[in-house]
Structure formats: structure tokens, C-alpha cells
Amino acid sequence: MKFTDGAWRTAEGFDIHQAKEVRFVKKDSDKITLTLPSFHIYNRGMTLSGPYITMEISSPCENVFHIRAYHFKGDKSLAPSYFRLAGTSIEIGTQEDEKTITITSGASCLVIDKANYGYKLMREGRLVTSSSEGALAFIDGDNGHFMREQLSLGVGEHVYGLGERFGSFIRNGQSIDIINKDGGTFSEQSYKNIPFYITDNNLGVFVNHTEEVNFEVASENVSKVQFSVRGECLDYYVFAGTSMKDVITLYTGLTGRVPKLPDWSFGLWLSTSFSTDYDEQTVLSFVDGMRDRGIDLSVFHFDCFWMKDSHWCNFLWDSDMFPDPAGLIAKLHSRGVHVCVWINPYIAQQSEIFDEAATNGYLIKKTDGSVWQTDLWQAGMGIVDFTNPDARKWYQDKLKVLLDMGVDCFKTDFGERIPTEDVVFADGSDPLRMHNFYTYLYNEAVFELLEKEKGKGEAVLFARSATAGCQKFPLHWGGDCHSDYPSMEQTIRGGLSLMLSGFSYWSHDIGGFEDKSTADVYKRWSAFGLLSSHSRLHGSSSYRVPWNYDDEATDVLRHYVELKKSLMPYINEARSEAEESGLPVMRPMVLEFQDDPVCAFLDRQYMLGGKILVAPVFDPDGEAQFYLPEGTWVSVDGSDRRVVTTGRFFKEKRGYLEMPVFIKE
């Protein structure tokens, strides 16, 4: 949201009250409280009116500062965030003289200017970022109140993250609203909005709000990142790292890291696709067809129509198509294949369990006490209210029946379109704050059940929506894309962006979701998909089995399934890093080669773990374009060894079995 009209004027409809000086300082062992008038005070008479901003500064762990600034202390916007953050405040060092207050945590410090309020964040003498005089502000607007902060960017500093975003990989110049929406992969909207950004100056910033957060990233002010929220309070964390990897480790130490996933989740997943017709015979023909063609299949996924149409979700198998679901699941298990079924948190009015949910108060209600309903997606559907512990258990009990039947995991679809107007939640939660946070409660409930029933290390989801902290409930996929090369490019950008937002695992629909790709795109996307952390064949209206394209597609898919299997010992090392430090398994080039200025811009290739470079091909003529940083690189089959004295680009023709995959010696 923009509050100014160019460099010199305030935008119409706003009155900006900027923090100007430090009036009072209160010191505790683990917190510093500052009183910041929005004007300079030259005499006692000027203290007879406000507004003032109060700022509380603490540190949850070394090299991380928690900053909480507010106008009116009694306003409801000061309610605690729903983000469940680890740890408590540690003791901080403070030093004050006539001009400055220095607050120290680990090797980092905040140096606060008392006369003209602002601060500098330093790490071992290096400037990480700063908030200059007037950057922090309380804003009166015609449509409500806002709190704003602006943090500086250095020359050539690039901003990344803010969730799974499909536009330009570098966020500089973008206006971004952190609010979950179901917008596909070809719009500015995102299923996974994370109010955390990271820069290649080793800065991380996490805005600790579950409601909509508005970012102006070198846009309204081209030398600053501005973030703002409605209300009287702004709560955020700054992370001063020694590297971008260090920042991610600090951030995930606060918001959570991925748990151990089952080994089988890293194999190939095959889906029925979304709107196709299928029954038991169809399913077994796909599974047996993959086996007969020598393609190792790990998971079979039943998408929406395992349930009867218009009844989603009733968690009951469509008996016309699947008269013996337990028997079918047993047949799949006997073939060494795990079973996943599609679910969402919506209960159609036609569902056999709608009345039960409505009567017992398990659905989100309107302010008049009636059930909130819509015809969008399923006729008359309501939405499960996961703030109600009884509703949470009820939902889990429905899923447990499926687990007892033999189902191994769930695809937790949707969770983005959560109403904010004329609704109340069971626990009294603010609907605006619940919109993004809903997906956390939804996926947490399902993942918790899986860990309880399957055991830790065996639980896995396939989720679309996410917010901060949802990396604890892996894994996530990229959502609805088209089936062409531009969509493949959008998809990889979105995944790499998510990997710089605290997530470690990610997947996507091999071949694209909408329509049906050409055989050429399918084969190129298969190579990319099998060298992602997780790999799934899924589409909308057509089956994604390789023989549905051409004979060569089967050979290509088999080749990359076998390649991924051969790399599993190496991928397991990357898994361990993810669990221990929060680092992603799929890494943007800038994360692994931060000192190489070219890598700051690369978003069509990536590192799998720390040493394997993957460069998908996006060209129907097979022209591959990729960049090798300085070092010695050997192709994955050992046939091509290149010594690169300075990083350089390559352009060369590649067959379907020859996607550039290099290992750094």
C-alpha cells in the first residue's frame, strides 16, 4: 500500500505521523521500551498532545531482534499473533550515551539515534539495514489506521522470498499483498503467502502478522522495503546473518523446520488427474501399466472423484466406481504402492455429513449465528471451523476411518478462500487474521493425525495453501498451471521463491495441470519433475501416464525415475540438512553461490542439495541454456568434465535424456 505521492507529498486521504525522537527509555534485562513522539519536543507545552509511538525491542535468540511498535496500547490490533514462535527472549546487552542506544544480541546490534529516531542493524561492524528518521510511522487514513516501517536497501541489494510467487524472481520493484488466494500460477496472486523476505546482504525480515501485510519492495521508495498493516500495531523480526543460508537457519529456528518424511514420499507419485473418469479397473491398469513398462511407482493418488460428485467432502468412496475400496487399497499395497486421497476443508450441502457438522457447530458461522455458505466450488458448502477443538477432532475422526482402511496420506487441497466479512469463529478469532492462518490450522490438524496414526517419520501431506510455519507440515506443490513452456518457467520461479521463504520441500504437476501438454513439453517437464525434491504426475482433464503421449515419453520418464533413485543417498544428505538447519533441498543458485553476482539473477536452474546443478530445458528445439559457476563440474553420467575458471554460460542442444545435470567436484 502506498501512502505517499512521489518523494515530497503525502497521498490524498492519509496523515502520516512519523517517529521523530526518543523521549523515554525503559530498560529490562530482556527488553527495551522506547517512547517515540511523532514530532520533536522543544518545551513542556509540546507534551500536551500526541501521537506517540511505543516500541518494544527484545531478542528471541542471538542475532535476531523482535520489534513491536504500537500507537494505542488498548487497541485490539495488539492481540498476539497466531504464529506460534519458538523460544523466549534472551538477555540483551544495552549501552547508552547522549546520542545513541546500542542493543546487542550475539554478534549483532541495533544502534538507535535518540535525537532523530532511527536505527542501524549491524553485524560485526557491517551495516545490514537501517530504519531512517520518519521510516516508522502511525498513519491516519480515511479508511482506517495503519502502521508502517521502511528498511533500507544497499546498492545492488536484491530481495527474495515472500512466499511462492510466479512473477519475477527478484522482488525489487514489486508491490506485494500477503493474502492467500486461488489464482493459479499465472497471476500476481499466490496460494502460499509468507510475510518473510531475505536479501543477499544477509538480512531477513519476518512481519509477525497473520492478517494481510502490504509490501512495497523498492517500489514506492526505490531504496527501501516498506511493509504496512492495518491497525495500531506493527510486529516484526529482523535477522542479521553471516550468509543467506544463516538467515534461513535463524528464521526456521523461530518458525519451525521440516520433520523427517518417509522414504517412499521421494519416489514417483501418479494421480488419476482431476476431472477424468476412473474406477478400480482404470486405477489398476495405470499401476500395472507403469510396472509393465519398468517404471517404479511409489504413490498412487486418488483425486476428487473418489467421492461422488457434488458431495465433497463426505469422505465416502463413490460405491458405483469403488464397491470395495479396502480391497483396492490392499491390491495397491500388494504392488508396493502407497495410497493418497484428495481432501479439502469444505463440506457440501449435499454431503451426508453436512447436517452433523452444522448442528454441532463445526462450520464457520455468520454473525447472526447461521452457517456461512457459498455455491462457489460445491453447492451450498460450508467450511470447517478448526478453531473449534471439537470440530478439529470430528474432522480427524472422519480421516481416521480412511487411514484404518489403508490410506497412507492425504492431499490437503484448497484453504485459500476463507471469508472475512460477516463471519465469526468459534474461539472468537479475528476473521481478518484467520484468512491466512486458516491453512495452518487445517494442515496442522491433518498432519497431527498422520503422525499419531502412522508414526513420526511416516506422515506426509500434499498441500497447496500455506502461511508462515507451514513448512512443519510438508510437503507443498505449486498449484494450477498451464501445460506449456511458459508455465513450466513460472512454476520453477514459484518453487525457488518458496524455497527462500523457509520451506524445504516442493513439488509441481509434471506436464502441467490445465489442458494437455505436447509430448515434447511432457518429456522436458518429466526431467525437471524427477529432479525436484518430490515428483508427481497430475493433470486436469487428461491422464498423465506417459503412454498417453508417445512411446519415447515412457523411456524418458523411466530414465529420470532411475536417475533419482540412484541419487537418493545424496538427497538423503540434503534431507538431513533440511531437518537440522531449515535449508531447502531445492536451492536457488544465489543461495549456494552468493558471492557470484550472476547467480543473483538465475531462476531457470537450481541446485539439488549443495553440489548437484539442474538446468531444465525450456525449448522445443532442445536448446539448453545454463550457467556453471567457477569450479570443476562433471555431468551426472560422468562423461563430461568441465573446468570453469570463471563462471560462464553455455548454450547447446540436448536430447530428452540429456538434461544438464552437473555435480560439483
Using DSSP bridges, classify how beta strands 144-152 and 137-141 pair: parallel, antiparallel or unpaired.
antiparallel
Least Cα distance to 210 among 224, 231, 225 occurs for 231
CA separation for the pair 612, 292 (Å, rounded): 31
Look at residue 134 and give its three-state secondary structure. Answer: coil
Angle of helix 551-566 versus helix 519-530 axis, rounded to 10: 10
CB 26 within 8 A of CB 251: no
Least Cα distance to 246 among 493, 62, 506 occurs for 62
Give CA separation, 186 vs 192, 482, 544, in Å.
14, 8, 21
CB 71 within 8 A of CB 232: yes
Least Cα distance to 127 among 106, 103, 152, 104 occurs for 152
- Residue in this structure with the C-alpha cell 522445443, named with its chain if needed: 620
Active site residues: 413, 416, 480
Q: Burial letters for 626-639: b for 16+ Cβ neighbours within 10 Å, e otherwise?
A: bbbbebebeebeee
Least Cα distance to 160 among 200, 213, 208, 110 occurs for 200
* Residue 139: CB atoms within 10 Å: 21
Q: Quickly list DSSP for 400-430.
A: HHHHHHT--EEEE--------SSEE-TT---
CA separation for the pair 566, 269 (Å, rounded): 17
Angle among Cα 369, 371, 374 to the nearest 5 degrees reads: 140
Q: Quickly list DSSP for 554-581.
A: HHHHHHHHHHHHHTHHHHHHHHHHHHHH
Amino acid identity, residue 194?
A: I
